[in-house]
Amino acid sequence: MSTQRKTALSHDLYKRALLDSFRKLDPRVMCKNPVMFVVEAGFLITLLLAFFPTSFGGQSDPGYNAAVSLILLFTILFANFAEALAEGRGRAQADSLKKTKQDAVARLVQKDGSVKAIPATKLRKGDLVIVEAGELIPGDGEIVEGVASVDESAITGESAPVIKEAGGDFSSVTGGTRVVSDTIKVRITADPGESFLDRMISLVEGAKRQKTPNEIALSTLLVTLTLIFLIVCTTLLPIAGYVNAAIPMATLIALLVCLIPTTIGGLLSAIGIAGMDRVTQFHVIAKSGKAVEAAGDINTIILDKTGTITFGNRMAAAFFPVGNASEEELSLAAAQSSIFDETPEGRSIIELAKRQGVSSPVLDIPRAVGIEFRAETRMSGTLLPDGREIRKGAVDAIKAHIAEKGGQIPAELEEKMRQIATEGGTPLAVAVDERILGLIYLKDTVKPGMRERFEELRRMGIRTVMCTGDNPLTAATIAREAGVDDFVAEAKPEDKISLIKKEQAQGKLVAMTGDGTNDAPALAQADVGLAMNSGTVAAKEAANMVDLDSDPTKIIEVVAIGKQLLMTRGALTTFSIANDVAKYFAIIPAMFMLAIPQMSALNIMQLATPQSAILSALIFNAVIIPILIPLAMKGVKYVPMSASRLLGRNLALYGLGGIAAPFVGIKLIDLALVSLSLV
């Protein structure tokens, strides 16, 4: 996106948020935020007093009442602007997603096998459609026939197409994506308006955003504080009458507004919306704010090994000859067995053999025939023109094959297998006819930086557990190299659920990643389930977050964002409540100084007049909200630390800062009002 386009987007966003700030003045909207609703009620009363000074009994200054009313109006508008700005960012993302929903034509397969073109909006769950290269996939579904390259850039932003095929964990396709090559038959899995893209748009718009338990608890605290201070201010009127101190109604309202936690009350919704927005910026769609918040309280993360902690593509690292075979003989046989193997694994074997001296000409064998890998045999290889048969595959499969031919198993084969497994590798045996030449050491490399990332999680107090189907020796080696806290080897789907339930039974919150249908139960059981967009529909339905980039390691970023959300809310709550302490010293002395001269001793800020003190406190109370909007939207900088250290940091930085800032701000505003002769 160009700078000019970003600027235009920002201008549109701010303009829309400004208009929404006024629309939200509707009492039916304001009543959803009790703190700001009280401020709005105060605004209406002081506005009435500005035109009718004798209202509510007594005589008051119309100019002073109007000033208080105007400041209260800006306080409400600033709070509304913060919420509207957060919502506007979500709507901007939703608008960009809507552009991907084009009016597509679907080629529906009829019961008689014929194909009929219909609008995509008429498709229903269970319909079968044919999609060819260059066409948009008309709706969410699963491939039931064929293999195709699919461009998902409209959804994920990634330009590289992905391979989708019938069966397995990569059969799910999303409406609005485009088939780049080949032809596929897709079974539609969602009715119009219920597709994944439709739900994404609804989620980022925030129209159905529900408050999280933490947010509800904080809202309850704010309402309670508001009621307490409302009672306090109400009782001040008879107390003032008893000491013959006249308190104008506008001053009483100003005191109430300054005492109630208006800062956090005005920013609370913006913080929650911005938290979901930050997750979306990482191409993760959270199905609820509760999921984002739960991520911040995670105690245990369960991660798959292959493709998450490791790269997933096993690469040849070394050759281990056995018996009387030489390393040169083994490397040549291994390379020849991989001539027809187009997998990354097969290509890496040939590359390793070439580095060890095998030349390209000896691999160019006319009339050679490839032996295809099959799940039943777990072997592949090459049949040479001279009748020799070279095979490579799982060690037990090669041993069984050699035993059938009457060959001998080298004595040191088991020892070499254990050596490779201990180093975290996978052994592949290579045999020529009935003779085993040795082993290929395949290594699944741990991704760079994983140890550091797991160390960061450890500093957060989060335990990491690796789940893998590998044998215990390999699993232990990878776990040690990656730096995870624990591992489960030879794990089956039910083992993941058992592990999650065991952790939850101890009162812990658990997160996990997955992409297959067999992961769906565990994703549903976990407190934070992050499903891959490339995975199955079942996995995405079971999870409460979907990663559009299909990057399992992104769970670490999600946790960090969740913690940042909680830290931001805690920091601003601390700052807001601490603010009130300074406001006491501005307003309380101002209210009673004339009737009780001894109260002037509490005027430690040396504010000019009672009216300037009250107006200065009100103005500071209003302007602090827009000043804190960037912090609420961006979030407090996340630094991994324990809960006790975090509390201490909040009290030191935002607690003491919340006390000191009003003293400085109110005094400066008071000086400005006096110099401008406004009081």
Residues 400-409 have pLDDT tens digits of 999 988 888 9
Class of domain 124-190: mainly beta
Residue 530 or 425, more confident: 530
- Sheet-wide strand order for 105-109: 115-119, 105-109, 128-131, 184-188, 141-145, 172-173
H helices of 282-326, in order, are 289-296
Percent of the chain with pLDDT strictly greater than 70: 86
Asked if residue 283 lies in contact with residue 157, where contact means CB atoms within 8 angstroms, the answer is: yes
What is the C-alpha separation between 574 and 596, in angstroms, rounded? 33
d(CA 671, CA 334): 85
Residue 246 structure tokens:
């006249």
State mean pLDDT over 360-386.
86
Sign of the four-CA dihedral 557, 563, 566, 572 = negative
User: What is the strand order of the sheet 162-165 is part of?
Assistant: 162-165, 147-151, 178-181
CA distance 97 to 99: 5
Closest CA to 468 of 501, 439, 446: 446
Asked if residues 306 and 491 have their Cβ atoms less than 8 Å apart, the reply is no
Query: What is the CATH number assigned to the segment(s) 313-444?
Result: 3.40.1110.10
Q: Which of 127, 140, 198, 304 is catalytic?
A: 304
Residue in the structure block whose two tokens are 């030349």: 359
Cα–Cα distances in angstroms (integers) from residue 214 to residues 291, 293, 375, 629, in the given order: 12, 8, 50, 20
374 or 67: whose pLDDT is higher?
A: 67
The closest alpha carbon to 463, from 511, 495, 418, 530, belongs to: 511
Highest-confidence range of 54-58, 375-379, 460-464, 547-551, by mean pLDDT? 460-464
DSSP string, 57-95: SS---HHHHHHHHHHHHHHHHHHHHHHHHHHHHHHHHHH
pLDDT single digits (tens) 50-68: 888 776 655 568 888 899 9
pLDDT attached to residue 330: 93
Q: Which residues are annotated as a binding site?
A: 341, 345, 373-380, 392, 515, 519
Q: Which residues are annotated as a binding site for Mg(2+)?
A: 515, 519
Distances (CA, A) of 269 to 35, 81, 85, 633, 656: 12, 11, 11, 10, 24
Element (H, E) at 604: none
The pTM of this model reads 0.63
Tell me if the domain spanning 300-309+447-548 has CATH number 3.40.50.1000. Answer: yes
Residue 304 bears catalytic tag:
yes
Give the amino acid at 52: F
* Strands 379-383 and 486-488, bridge-based pairing: unpaired
The per-residue pLDDT of the chain, averaged, comes to 82
Q: Are 568 and 631 in contact (CB under 8 A)?
A: yes
Q: What is the 3-state secondary structure (H, E, C) of 402-453?
A: HHHHCCCCCCCHHHHHHHHHHCCEEEEEEEECCEEEEEEEEECCECCCHHHH
Same fold, 124-190 and 300-309+447-548: no
Q: Count CA atoms closer than 13 A to 29's CA, side-chain side.
A: 14
Cα distances (angstroms) measured from residue 668 to each of 31, 418, 587, 627: 34, 75, 15, 16
Answer for the pair 24, 84: CB distance below 8 angstroms, yes or no.
yes
Per-residue confidence (pLDDT) for residue 155, from 0 to 100: 58
Can you give the residue ranges of every domain in the chain?
Answer: 8-92+205-280+562-676, 124-190, 300-309+447-548, 313-444
What's the pLDDT tens digit per position in 127-186?
999 998 888 888 888 888 888 888 776 555 454 577 787 766 567 887 878 888 888 999
